[in-house]
Homo-oligomer: A and B are copies of this chain.
Amino acid sequence: MNSALPPDRLLLGPGPSPTAPSVLLALARPTLGHLDPWLLARMDEIRAGLREVFRAPRGTALALSSTGTSGIELVVHHLVERGDRVLVGVSGYFGARLAEIARRAGADVVAVEGPWGRALDPDALRKAAGGKPCKLVALVHGETSTGVLQDPRPYRALADELGALLVLDCVTTLGTAELEFDAWGIDAAWSCSQKGLACVSGLAPVCFSERALAAIKARKQPVQSFYLDLALLLEYWGGARAYHHTASSNLLVALHEALRLVLEEGLPARWKRHADNARVLWSGAAERGLELLVPEAERLPALSTLKVPRGVDDAKVRKTLLERYDVEIGGGLGPLKGQVWRIGLMGHGSSERNARLALGALALAMAEAKG
């Protein structure tokens, strides 16, 4: 095996975002045991920091030792039992993933589809539910495949009508867009470490309301997974501090530093920074004649989808960007494959400089790919 060093990419895709320099340094501190009292104290601070970032002072938060997708799985497999009715909004790849995971949990899934690139209409979900009780209303806050921000606020009333819990995929919104877990009445949410928080991937923050924890306690069947068993995880993250798995101190110390940076900046300032730099990207794109997929009012600040102009070879442009300029942007997923570029300005990577560099490099690569 060789010992070549990785290239130094500018990460302007759908995530991971560029890891903040002090987070990389924290990551490389010597390893600690997973039950070291120093680490356990930092884990308490991580839980408090996550409650702040989710805006969930009354919530219960922790970080799973696995990536964001495991957060969907933990939440859904704990809140759903075989045969439960689950209403899922699907207008992108991650809504579809959420529905798939609910199906695997044995749910009777009502997937309400909407066009990729638009927010869903709460009335479409209300109509599809048909007034029949549901266990969950499940939504994607920031649909990373389309660049759409879905406002979850109108869905709380719908969830109440159906006797349902409201759960939210915050993988791309945590730390990048307004999110009020408690005030909006969210019952469970999950995210990742490698986007808005500017840490590396490998940890999945999750957050639960008291109502969600009560629903988990009232389950008739235990969950199948041992690795993603919330009761066991809570005994490690609190309570008896009982060994459950060997959490990585390096990842946790890095997440601790990442949360410190987020809270030092302050959430409203961070949300504004993401919104401001997204607008730089959007207006620059318009000036260059590049169209955006999503109407402005429904756009995610952290991730923008630009339509690939007719006649331009998507893959060739991205290859040129990566190989010649060390710039990573994302391609389209599913039906948007070859149709859009996904440009992320997230976390440490959300800057006016990166917004301008993304457009400049894209213009260069388009010219070169043509030639």
Contacts and interface: CB of A to CB of B under 8 A. Distances in A.
Contacts of A5: 29
Given A36-B9, A250-B19, A25 B24 contact: no
Interface in A241-256: 243-251, 253, 256
A73 interface: yes
A67 B245 contact: yes
A243 B15 CA distance: 12
Contacts of A73: 225-227
Interface in A181-214: 192, 194, 200-202
Contact of A246 (B65, B67, B227): B67
Nearest to A104: B224
B16 A246 contact: yes
**What copy number does this chain have within its complex?**
2
Contacts of A70: 66, 227, 245
A165 interface: no
A73 B244 CA distance: 13
A203 to B, nearest CB: 9
A246 B201 CA distance: 7
A263 to B, nearest CB: 6
B66 A260 contact: no
Contacts of A37: 322
A287 interface: no
Contacts of A38: 6-7
Best-buried of A28, A36, A72, A245 by chain B (most CB within 10 Å): A28
A138 interface: no
Given A6-B38, A246-B67, A248-B200, A18 B31 contact: yes
A240 interface: no
Contacts of A248: 16, 67, 194, 200-202
A101 interface: yes
Interface residues of A, number: 75
A178 interface: no
Given A104-B226, A248-B201, A67 B68 contact: no
A69 B64 CA distance: 13
A216 B53 CA distance: 41
Nearest to A243: B333
A32 interface: yes
Contacts of A9: 30-33, 36
A224 B97 CA distance: 14
A113 interface: no
Interface of A: 1-3, 5-9, 11, 13, 15-16, 18-19, 24-25, 27-34, 36-39, 42, 45, 48-49, 65-70, 72-73, 77, 97, 100-101, 104-105, 192, 194, 200-202, 222, 224-228, 243-251, 253, 256-257, 259-260, 263, 322, 328, 333
Given A1-B48, A200-B248, 9 more contacts: A1-B45, A3-B257, A9-B31, A11-B31, A34-B201, A65-B201, A101-B226, A202-B202, A202-B251
Closest 4 CB pairs of A and B: A28-B28, A66-B66, A202-B248, A1-B260
28 contacts: A1-B49, A1-B263, A6-B29, A6-B39, A6-B42, A9-B30, A11-B31, A11-B33, A13-B33, A16-B246, A24-B31, A24-B250, A27-B28, A36-B322, A36-B328, A65-B201, A66-B70, A69-B227, A69-B244, A69-B245, A77-B224, A97-B226, A100-B226, A105-B224, A200-B248, A201-B246, A202-B202, A224-B224
